[in-house]
Amino acid sequence: MAPIAIRTLFHVMVWRDFGHISNLVSQLVEVIRKEDRVKIRRVGVATLRNILSKGENNEQMIKAGMVKLAAGLTQKKWKDEDIEQDLAVLNEVLEKDVNVLNSFELYREEVMSGNLVWSLVHRSEKFWRENVGRFEENNFKVLGSSNNPQVLAIACYDLGEFVRFHPRGRKVLSKMDGKVDIMNLMTNNPDAEVQKHALLCVQKMMVHNWEYLSNAN
């Protein structure tokens, strides 16, 4: 069967492609974590400090576990003042950034990775009520396609929630031909979970009072 594109409506920030940098960041964090030689650790820590607050580097450091690692290393006694200062700066800046990263940004990262999982955020009404307006930024940027059944099922579910909570969700989805893709998944995809969530999405597109329909079922 030919690939079926899901024209999802998730908000995508216009960021530069730092893919090669993200690999470097995670590798540096891993070296700092495993390496006992002070000279090598010093170079790794100094490099991270030099690229701090540039592009997505802070988020990549947080994801790689640098917050916990930096906090632990700052407790050690170092004979090298440079590494002490660099660790202190990394620890301070990344601790602040952890608090800034909210659930929508983490959700966006998951969506952009193309690897959707049934995390709590997808099924949280609180998340959708508080963040559905942010999908409007950058004019509802379109995000790729997938043949993975789990990804397709979650994408259908999320699109249904977007339609449910956004005041113009039905119009936006129809304008971007999302309804056609969902209907194709509902009728042509062999996976039962994909069919189920595609059907639920279609139901949400067709009714104006989803809460009433849910209670009736």
Distance in angstroms (rounded) separating the CA atoms of residues 176 and 140 = 9
Average pLDDT of the chain to the nearest whole number: 78
Q: What is the pLDDT of residue 102?
A: 61
Q: What is the residue whose two structure tokens read 């390496």?
A: 35
**Is there a single domain that holds both residue 96 and residue 121?**
no
In-domain check, residue 11: no
Cα–Cα distances (Å) from 63 to 13, 57, 97, 109, 149, in that order, read: 18, 10, 11, 11, 26
What's the number of domains the chain is made of?
2
**Is there a single domain that holds both residue 122 and residue 203?**
yes
The CATH number of the domain holding residue 191 is: 1.25.40.150
Backbone dihedral region for residue 3 (phi beyond 0: left; psi -120 to 50: alpha; all else: beta)? beta
**Is there a single domain that holds both residue 41 and residue 89?**
yes
In-domain check, residue 198: yes
Distance in angstroms (rounded) separating the CA atoms of residues 3 and 24 = 33
Q: Which of 102, 125, 159 is the last residue of a domain?
A: 102
**Is there a single domain that holds both residue 125 and residue 188?**
yes
**Is there a single domain that holds both residue 108 and residue 98?**
no
Stretches in the chain below the pLDDT threshold 50: 1-20, 142-143, 212-217
Distance in angstroms (rounded) separating the CA atoms of residues 207 and 199 = 13
pTM of the model: 0.54
pLDDT digits (tens, 9 = 90+) for 95-126: 887 765 667 877 887 887 778 888 767 888 87
Q: Which of 102, 119, 153 is the last residue of a domain?
A: 102
Q: 150: domain range?
A: 104-215
Percent of the chain at pLDDT above 70? 79
Q: Which of 102, 117, 149 is the last residue of a domain?
A: 102
Q: What is the pLDDT of residue 92?
A: 92
**Is there a single domain that holds both residue 26 and residue 112?**
no
Q: What is the pLDDT of residue 17?
A: 36
